[in-house]
Amino acid sequence: MASRNKFFQKSFVSIDQIKSAKQVSALFKEADKMRKNVESHKVFEPLKGMSVAVLFYQPSTRTFTSFVAAAKRLGAYVTSIHGMEQFSSVSKGETLEDTIRSIEQTTAADVIVIRHPDNNSSEVADSACSVPVVNAGSGKLEHPTQALLDLYTIYNKLKKTSGLNVVMVGDLLYGRTIKSLAKVLALVGGKKNKITFVSPKELAAPSDFVKELRKKVVLGEENSLSTKVLKEADVVYMTRVQKEWFEQAGRMDEYERLKDKFIMTRHMATQMKKKAIVMHPLPRVGEILREVDEDHRATYFEQMRSGLYVRMALLNMIIGG
């Protein structure tokens, strides 16, 4: 029997679980297949008879809908709940472990997808049930499927995953997407990849994270999105200042002061290389002006569609085999 793919029947809670560029290529190959199927409206339902539960404890537009759409397109039975924190027994005080155990039972889930504000929520969920768990965003640290769809987008647009200068801008302290993306860029390109962090000092990436990353990639840190930084970039990855964490900490005055520090304008985009791209995990709340949408470098809409293909690929590799 052909050997199973590395994701088969395994939880995917952290980007650190991906150990080789080969594993990423295998996933991208599968995502390409999914793209072809979707584009040709082909009915392809390898997960028929399987059950997928999608549980979100934090707001989401893209990640939620693309996971649900991915599971449905692959033919699975899907139970999807948005607003878990409000509408499930969590509001009565149920623990995450008990909720996960319950959902596994009530839906006969073969895989559980979870988004949750706690950093270790996916690990907790994983230890509470006997089926694979997929992390759809946990706390301030991890968003592994976003990292894969981001890299898949970069690969499709620039035709390479190493020899890149990726400029990450905005809230590098609370933002989770940049942390997972930085790690996967380090894995696939090592020191051939440069990552340039641009943030106000209050929103700089955590120092332990920076220290680890510096061992694996070439790392630059800037406090302004200058012409020089723009000119040298292959990718400018903008992010939103994460209002919810400021709200929680009662620091809304600081949020107001920081939220508009870095704004991508059309003029700035045109200073980038012709082939460079502007990305954003979205939602944007002012950090990329609408006028940038007209520039051919704007890739954030395409980036969303990558989410459907990559999540289809991942679910199929985990429970389809």
Catalytic (active-site) positions: 62-63, 92, 115, 143
Query: What stretches of 74-219 show up as alpha helix (H) in DSSP?
Result: 84-87, 96-107, 121-128, 144-158, 177-189, 207-214
Determine if 63 is a binding residue for ligand NCD (CB under 6 A).
Answer: yes
| Nearest residue (CB) to ligand NCD, 5 versus 66 | 66
Determine if 144 is a binding residue for ligand NCD (CB under 6 A).
Answer: no
Cβ–Cβ under 8 Å, residues 306 and 280: no
The residue among 163, 96, 106 whose CA lies nearest residue 128 is 96
| Nearest residue (CB) to ligand NCD, 50 versus 113 | 113
Cβ 243 to ligand NCD shortest distance, Å: 9
> Closest residue (Cβ) to ligand NCD?
281
| The one-letter amino acid at 270 | T
Binding marks (x or -) toward ligand NCD, 147..186, rule CB under 6 A? -----------------------------xx---------
| Nearest residue (CB) to ligand NCD, 35 versus 116 | 116
Determine if 146 is a binding residue for ligand NCD (CB under 6 A).
Answer: yes
Binding marks (x or -) toward ligand NCD, 223..242, rule CB under 6 A? -----------------x--
Can you tell me the distance from the alpha carbon of 222 to that of 33, in angstroms, rounded to the nearest whole number? 39
Binding marks (x or -) toward ligand NCD, 16..55, rule CB under 6 A? ----------------------------------------
Cβ–Cβ under 8 Å, residues 15 and 28: no
Cβ 116 to ligand NCD shortest distance, Å: 11
* Region 268-307 residues binding ligand NCD, contact defined as CB under 6 A: 281-282
Binding marks (x or -) toward ligand NCD, 88..127, rule CB under 6 A? ----------------------------------------
> Terminal CA-to-CA distance of the chain, rounded, Å?
12
**Per the omega criterion (within 30 degrees of 0), is the bond before 283 cis?**
yes
Count of residues that interact with ligand NCD, criterion CB under 6 A: 10
Query: What stretches of the chain show up as alpha helix (H) in DSSP?
Result: 21-39, 62-73, 84-87, 96-107, 121-128, 144-158, 177-189, 207-214, 227-232, 243-248, 252-258, 266-271, 300-315
Q: 235 has which bridge partners?
A: 166, 277
The residue among 170, 137, 174 whose CA lies nearest residue 251 is 174
| Nearest residue (CB) to ligand NCD, 108 versus 285 | 285
| Nearest residue (CB) to ligand NCD, 137 versus 320 | 137
Q: How far is CA 48 from the centre of its chain?
A: 26
Please report, as ranges, the residues that interact with ligand NCD according to CB under 6 A. Answer: 62-63, 137, 143, 146, 176-177, 240, 281-282
